[in-house]
Amino acid sequence: MPALEGELKRCSTSFEDFLDYVVSLLEKHVQIFTLSLKTKTSHPNLTVSDIIQLVGKSDVVCYKLTYAYVVYLCHSLKRTQLYKVYLIGDDSSRGTSLAACHQDTSSWSAKHLAFHVLKV
């Protein structure tokens, strides 16, 4: 898909390429956050136990896409705030995740996948 207005976007086919791209955008100010879940059961019911706002001048978020080989989609949008979310399961599982709040989606198509997934 083409980039949205104000979006920097790139697909990388290796972890090294995605890191090089992120460093080219953020220089030495890179922090890597990953998802984690230590669980006792295969599908615990999770509840948010705490949220911490991550503060940075720029954010680049990279996702591993579902392909036959490794492909990462990295993108950066202005007016996006990232949060680190702490999770706790009904079986005492613990984990962390990230949440992105896009504060201005007015230039996005009404058919954007995010709106479809969120049912809005």
pLDDT in the model for residue 10: 92
Question: Could you tell me the pTM of the whole model?
Answer: 0.76
**Count of C-beta atoms within a 10 Å radius of residue 43:** 9
Mean pLDDT of 1-12: 86
Kindly report, residue by residue over 70-79, the tens digit of the pLDDT: 999 998 888 8
Kindly report, residue by residue over 12-60, the tens digit of the pLDDT: 999 899 899 999 988 888 888 888 888 877 788 899 999 999 887 778 8
pLDDT in the model for residue 1: 75
Say if residues 76 and 5 touch (Cβ distance below 8 Å).
no
pLDDT in the model for residue 113: 83
Q: Where exactly are the structural domains of the chain?
A: 8-118
Kindly report, residue by residue over 87-120, the tens digit of the pLDDT: 999 888 899 999 988 888 888 889 888 899 989 8
pLDDT in the model for residue 31: 84
Q: Which backbone phi and psi does 116 adopt, to 5 degrees?
A: -65, -45
**Count of C-beta atoms within a 10 Å radius of residue 66:** 6
